[in-house]
Amino acid sequence: MNSTVLADNILRMVGGESNVVTVIHCATRLRFTVIDNRKVKLAELRALDGVLTVVCEGDRLQVVIGNRVAKVFHALSVRCGLISTEKKRGQHERAGCAQLMRWSDGLADITMPLLGVMMAAGILKGILIMCVDAGWLNPGRQRAATLFAIAESPFNFLPLFLAILCARKFKANLFIAVAMAGASLSPLGMGISAGGQQEAFSGLPFRLMNSSGAVIPVIVGVWLISRIEQVIERYVDAAKRAIVTPCFLLLIIVPLIVLLLFPVGVSISQAISALFSALYNFSPIFTCALMAAAWPLLLMLGLHQAFIVLFINDISVMGQSFLLAACGPAIFACSAMLLAVNLRSRNSKLKALTRSAIIPSLFGLSEPAIYGVTLKRKKMFLCVLVVAAFGGAMVGYGKNSAIAMAMPGLLTIPVFYGEGFITYILACSLAFVGSLGLILLTGIEESSLPVNWGESPDRENIAVRRPPPAAKPVSDITEQIIAPVSGEVISLAQVNDGVFSTGSVGPGFAIIPDEGRVYSPVDGYIASTYASRHAIRICSDAGAEILIHVGINTVQLAGKYFCVEVQTGEVVKQGQLLMTFDLLAIAAEGYDTVTPIIITNSEAWRSLGASEKPRSRSGERSSALSI
Q: CB under 8 Å to 502, separation ≥6 — which residues?
A: none
Q: Across the beta sheet with 60-64, what order do the strands follow?
A: 20-25, 29-34, 60-64, 53-57
392: buried, middle or exposed (CB in 10 Å: 19+, 13-18, 0-12)?
A: buried
* CA dihedral sign, ordered 257, 260, 264, 266: positive
In angstroms, how far is CA 481 from the centroid of its own chain?
42
Angstrom distance (rounded) from CA 317 to CA 218 = 14
Q: CB under 8 Å to 587, separation ≥6 — which residues?
A: 593
In angstroms, how far is CA 341 from the centroid of its own chain?
22
User: What does DSSP say about strands 535-540 and 524-529: parallel, antiparallel, or unpaired?
Assistant: antiparallel
From the list 501, 503, 383, the residue with the least C-alpha distance to 433 is: 383
> What are the angstrom distances between the C-alpha of 262 and each of 38, 317, 438?
44, 14, 50
Of 26, 56, 383, 428, the catalytic one is 26
Residue 26 known to be catalytic: yes
> Taking a C-beta distance cutoff of 8 angstroms, is the pair 586, 557 a contact?
yes
- Phi, psi (deg, nearest 5) at residue 514: -100, -20
Burial 276-291 (b: 16+ CB within 10 A, else e): beebbeeebbebbbbb
Q: Which residues are catalytic?
A: 26
